[in-house]
Each structure stands twice: as structure tokens, then as C-alpha cells.
Amino acid sequence: MDVPAKGGFSFDLCLRNGMLEKEGLKGPGFRKTGTTIVGLVFADGVVLGADTRATEGPIVADKNWSLAAMSVSESKYKEGLTREEGIQLVSEAIRAGIYNDLGSGSNVDVCVITEGKTEYLRNHELPNPRTYVSSKGYSFVQGQTEVLSTKITPLKPKGEVTAGDAMEE
């Protein structure tokens, strides 16, 4: 049994999809959200990063990420990254998304998750600050926009991972 290579993009279904399209089947479209999110595992935990358009306080939204960010992540990731290397790589990938996608936010937010600790680095980098501010300014009266519903679901740790346990691919 042939096992596909780890990582990267597979073109296995391109011929099938082309044949189906010629037969009149319209493939699904995609929606560009302009959000860039990157996550990676480092030696002691996980580093998550997002542009400011994808974040709301400590919450990172689950949206699409740009090809520029993916190319940085895939070309520079290595096993055993340190915390600092992980933050640096995630930040570089998010910057690539910001610079190459007009819909992305302008700042880099990072979250570092280690055993028993979560650290939020809000506005960790400000690579593309806004330089124009409207002379009229903006004034929104509190309560002007109706909130239809609010649901906050706290995350709970499910268990402990021991050194010998590994995720299956």
C-alpha cells in the first residue's frame, strides 16, 4: 500500500475533478475571508498566530489562511523548534499573509500554549500600521448595534499527555 508523502498538496484528484467538470458538474466555490492563521507545535507546546482581523481578544477565529503564509510555514518548519523559534516562524508566516493579502489585518497576534499556561501576545508585531485616520472621526453610541446573542464556551483540559504518547498520523 502506497502511503502519501507527509505534508504538502496532493494533486491526486485533479484529473477526476477535471473530468467531472467537463461532464457539467460545477465544483464548490471558495470564499476569501482575508484572514491569516498559523499554528505549529514546538518542543514544549503550541504557538498560534493570527492577523488582527482574525482575533477578538483572546479568541482566534477559524478562517482561511493565505498561500504566502503557508509557503513560509512549510518551507521553514523543523522538528524540535524552541519557543522563540516557533514565535518567530509563526510571526513571519502571518506577516507574509498580511503583506500578500489585501483583506488581512495589519498586526500579528500570538498565543503560546504550554503545559498549565497560556500566554497571549496581543499586537506582538505591528508590521503594517494604519497611516490614515478620517478627519471626521468615528463616533458610535454604545448600544447602537444590537447584539442578537452571545455564547461563551470555556475550554476545559480533557486529560494529560505523557511523554510516551504520540498522535497517529
The residue with cell 467537463 is: 22
In a domain, 168, yes or no: no
Share of the chain above pLDDT 90, in %: 28
Q: Mean of the pLDDT values across residues 69-73?
A: 87
In a domain, 45, yes or no: yes
Give the residue from 109, 119, 124, 114 showing the smallest Cα distance to 41.
Answer: 114
Per-residue pLDDT at 100: 84
The residue with cell 524552541 is: 82
Is it the case that residue 62 has pLDDT exceeding 70? no
In a domain, 146, yes or no: no
Per-residue pLDDT at 163: 59
Question: Where is 40: in which H helix or E strand?
Answer: strand 37-42
* Strand 45-51 versus strand 37-42 pairing type: antiparallel
Between 2 and 156, where is the model more confident?
156
Q: Mean of the pLDDT values across residues 146-168?
A: 72
- Would residue 35 show up in a list of annotated catalytic residues for this protein? yes
Q: How far apart are the first and last CA of the chain?
A: 15
Question: Where is 110: in which H helix or E strand?
Answer: strand 108-114
Reported pTM: 0.57
For the domain that residue 107 is a member of, what is the CATH number?
3.60.20.10
Is it the case that residue 98 has pLDDT exceeding 70? yes
Question: 37 pLDDT band (50/70/90 cuts)?
Answer: confident
DSSP state letters, 111-167: EEEETTEEEEEEEEE-SS------SS-----TTSSPP---------------TT---
Domain count, the chain: 1
In a domain, 153, yes or no: no
Q: 35, 36, 52, 55: which one is catalytic?
A: 35
In a domain, 136, yes or no: no
Between 5 and 19, where is the model more confident?
19
In a domain, 119, yes or no: yes
In a domain, 23, yes or no: no
| Structural domain boundaries, residue 111 | 32-125
Per-residue pLDDT at 55: 47
In a domain, 150, yes or no: no
